[in-house]
Structure 1
């Protein structure tokens, strides 16, 4: 059980961190015209940045012996 938790902890934290960054980006920068594909909607921004966080967790999660 602990092994599974440790395995999923990093991707979950990176995904949540990315989602929070996406929310912050939408709140601070956003898209004033509404024509931007990613930043026009807060849901799109949160999902996109969450995906980026998950992908980054794979890069930073790999440990070499």
Structure 2
């Protein structure tokens, strides 16, 4: 009886530990995705600013 109780406790502990590690991994992955998305948006904004500057420069030349 004690062995069954000990085994079930160990299995429960291992599963919760695995779940905790998975949650941390997913949190880290979400953070990385947020960083990548923010960097991509930043690059798009910079490209758009360059485009607008070139367009305004061309309009003032003519």
Higher helix share: 2
**In terms of Rg, which structure is larger?**
2
TM > 0.5 between the two? no
Highest RCO, 1 vs 2 (Cα 8 Å, sep ≥ 6): 1
TM (norm. structure 2) is 0.42
